[in-house]
Each structure stands twice: as C-alpha cells, then as structure tokens.
Amino acid sequence: MSRTPREAAEAAIAADRAHDDPAIWIARPPDAAILERAAALEAEGPRGRPLWGRVFAVKDNIDVAGMPTTAACPGFAYTPAASAPAVAALEAAGALLLGKTNLDQFATGLVGTRSPYGVARNVFDAALVPGGSSSGSGPVVAAGIADFALGTDTAGSGRVPAAFGNIVGLKPTPGSISARGMVPACRSLDTISVFAGSVDLALAAARAMAGFDAADPFARRLPWPCPAGAERTYLDRAAPPPGLRIATADIAALCDPAYAGVHAAVASRLGAERVDLSIFFALARELYAGPWVAERSAALAGAMAASPDILHPVTRRILEDGLSRRSVDAFRAFDLLAETRRAAEALFARYDAILLPTAPFCPSLAEDRADPLGPNLRLGTFTNFANLCAMAAIAVPGGFTPQGLPVGMMVLGPAFSEGRLAGIADAVHRAATDRIGATATALPQAAAAAPLGAQEAALFCIGAHMSGLPLNGALTARGGRFLRVAATQPVYRLHALGGRPGMYRTGGSDGAAIAGEVWAMPLATLGALLAEIPPPLGLGSVLLQDGSCLGFLAEPVGLAEAPDITACGGWREWLAARRSATA
C-alpha cells in the first residue's frame, strides 16, 4: 500500500464528505479524532503489521470499545468497555477504524431498509435497496470511503450488499472468527464477514481475525491436525488447479433474466457443470419458515418482553412470528438440514466449488415498501443455505445488466476452503470489471498463490490425487492447496495400476519426464495420508525439473505386470488417450 495512514484517513474523510450519505453511519468519530489516531499509527511505523494504515468500518452490531453498540435499535444500545476480538485483532494488525455502520435492525433482513437511522443509498441507483443487513458496510466500501468493512452474515447479509455495490463479500466458515462481542441474530449460524474492494484484501482481513476462540461456544476447530502457528494457512491463497471442477444449477426460473444471463456467461467461462441443487434451495426456504426464526426470537427475547415498542415494525413482526414455531416443525427442518449437509459432503467430493448468483434480483425501495417481506425472502434464494451447511463463500462482481447495474456471483465451498476459493472468485471478479465498486479506483494487481509455509510440505502428485480426479479430496480435506503444475526430471517411468499410476526412478537412460502437480500439505496430515496409500505405492523424494520434493513413488517389483504408460507423459494424458480410444 503506497499511502501513509494519515493520507489514507484524509482520503477516507474526503470521500465520505463527497458521497454525502449520513445513513451509512450510526456513529463516526470526529475527523480530528480519526486523524489523530492516523498520525499515531504513522509515527509507530508498519512494524510488520499487514493492515497498517488500511481504513475500515464496523457494522454496528459488533462491539467497539467506548462506542455505543445499537444494532440499529436505540432503545437497546449499550457501550462496551472492550472491543470484539475481531475488531481488536484488526487494530492490532494496523487497521484504522473510521466508524460504525448502519444495518437492518438486529441484522434481520437482506434489503437494508429496516433501520431507524435511515436507508443507506444504493451507490448505483438511489431508487434501489442497498442490500442488508449490512446496509452501511457494503456502500461504505463501494463508495470508496473505507478500504474494507466488517459485516455479519446469517442468511446472506455479508454477500447481498456486496452484489449490489460491485464489491467483494467474504463469508468465512461459521465459527472460524470469534463471535464474541457481536449481537446475535441466529447464534448457531452467525459469522462476522468482510466487505472489500478485492478478494486479496478480504482474505488479509479474515486472516488477521481468524482463530479458534474457546470462549465462543460456537467456535469451530480445523478438521485436520494443525501445529501452533499454522492455524490460518487455509486462508492462504491457492492457485486455481488445472482440473478445477465447478458445480452450478439451472437457475433461470429463479432469477430476473439479466441476472440469469450473467450467471450463464460466467458458468460457461468456468466450464461449470449443471447439477441438481434443489435440496439446497429447499433448505434455504426453511431459514425464515422454520426453527431458525425462533432462534432469532430467543436471542432477543429479553428486549421483546421488556420493551417491544423499541423494535422496528417489520423486525417486531418477524420476531413475534418466531414465538409461535412448533417443535414438530423444528425436527422436520433438522431432518432436512442433516440430509442437505450429507448432500453437500457428496457434492464437494466431486466438485471444488459451487457457482451461483449472489442474489436473483435487486428490488426497488418502492417494491420493499409495498411488500416488506416478499422481496426480502426472495433475496436469500441462493445465500440462505450456506451457513446452515457450514460453507465458506466469496461473493464477487460477475457482470452488469443492460441498465448498468452490477450482478454478483458467489463461489461456495466446504468449511475452511476460503484460500482455495480465492483464486476462482478473483478470476470471476477480474473478468467482470477492473474497478472497485462505483469508483474509478482500479483493482490492485492480483496476489500470487501463497508460497509454501513453514508448517507445510510440497507434495508432487502424479495420479488420482491430482485436481479433478477421484482422490483429490484426500488432499483438500486435510488442508492441501494447489501450488503449480510441474514435471520430473527425465529419469522416471510410469505404469498403470488400475485406478492409480505407479512411478519409479530408472537406473539408466530409459527414463522420461512425468507431468504432475505440486500441492502444499500441512506437515501434520502427511502421516494419515501415507496410511491410506496401498502397496506397492508410497512416498519418497522425487526429482523435479525445478528442484525436488516429496512425491508418490512405487516399488518397481510391484509393477512387473502393469502396463507401461511412460510414453503418454503423465496420468492425466493417459486418461485422455484412453477416453479417446474408447469414444
């Protein structure tokens, strides 16, 4: 970043003044206080802090020490003595707080209009809703005021405003960032989210906040063993692998035509395959029809009982509706949830990610006034199921309607797949636009894939563990991330052992270069991977054209009866030749 903290603060204040939308904010310190803190940061110097001088805003259902937390309900407000761990982590990383942003009251809504503090302006068309519930956090980035902003996401609140503002919305894996200091909507589903101009900045902010918090009862541990200091490697950016598999669905009937058209173009460009996602859409409909409405009511039962008049009329209507939910309906919904989670496991065993529109349309303010519930329900068509299924998601710009309105696309993956999704999402973003939000600011250059970490080993894969092939999930489920394509030195031979190849080093001059992929694997997971490899296969040192690393090898004695496929140059090439021969 080329700007100093003071220059960044001055630019943010000037952009805020030029945009002139007080409904973005619920609380903002005086300019002098912001500039004073910026000067202090500048005097300290970067000190290795990754977000030094980056200006950020915080949705006003997340605590900032000494500033009231209102959740867009003045009668609920309190002033915390300590910041939420997520906010404290960002400031420790050098970020500069600009203020607290507006929201749909108690984060209940996707339209962004349910606040007594006004309605933030949609930066592309003032007649349209800004999206919610993070209705100030999206526009504050889209208007070029803040570099990034914190939102929260239960049903899509960290993604829908990003779609309407032509920016990035990163919805982390639920439980990966501490939820302490956040006013709950549905505690079992909520997550703090990040709005940013680029995927890389959103990842950087998430990396600063992420980590298991034992004091948060809904915190989630990594599903693979991880030594101290390597807990956040899943947020390291991976390169999109050559065998990338993207699933999508026929969504034309669920979207406005222009949105469906943008989705079709992006899906075609990525080679996405249509699959049946109907069970996910069915679960999405349960979020506001099933027991999770009651969970919202439970979270705010005290306020409802003591002072129901402090609630926004639409919010009160929704929360009161939750009090009438029946246990039998809850268990029916929980059954569907279990079935959908199992369907997600099966889907991600075959595909790297799901591609969907972020929202099916953008309603107008007039439509929202005429029907305060209907448009809001429709906005969650593609977002509602993500947290229920513990998915990670990145919403990015996907294109524009003929009227010049942004259309968002969303890339979803299993829990803790943010780094693997980043390259895919960033490619979609850059194909759609080279500008941030509604500004003339150019997208920064894309970051390269993160280099091999101290707690990772490079693993050269030559067969079914490569991207797009049946055993690749054994790598990704253990935190593996693709680094690059590679080839061995010309000293190996390759044989076909049924569904896997066997490679060995020759003792003479009859070897060849074998193509494969280099993956970064957490050191702590290699033992479990080795235990799954049947003889005569194993792991050993492999000589590559650009060095050496751990890789899959075979004992030559076990290959005597296996066909020699060295001439194909690699396993993927042999599979293609076999398909061609049988076509």
Q: Which residues are catalytic?
A: 59, 133, 157
Task: Give the number of other Cβ atoms within 10 Å of residue 528's Cβ.
Answer: 12
User: Exposure of 477 by Cβ count < 10 A (0-12 exposed, 13-18 middle, 19+ buried)?
Assistant: middle
Alpha helix (H) residue ranges in 300-447: 301-306, 313-322, 327-350, 365-370, 374-379, 385-388, 418-432
Query: Cβ of 106: how many Cβ atoms within 10 Å?
Result: 26
- Find the radius of gyration of the CA atoms of the chain: 25
How many of the other CB atoms lie within 10 Å of CB of 10?
16
- Alpha-carbon span 222 to 176, nearest angstrom: 8
Beta-carbon count within 10 A of 19 CB: 19
Distance, C-alpha 247 to centroid of its chain: 16
End-to-end CA distance of the chain: 53
Q: How far apart are CA 145 and CA 142, in angstroms?
A: 8
Tokens representing 478 are 């253990």
* Sign (positive or negative) of CA dihedral 307, 313, 317, 319: negative
Per the DSSP assignment, residues forming a β-bridge with 274 are 248
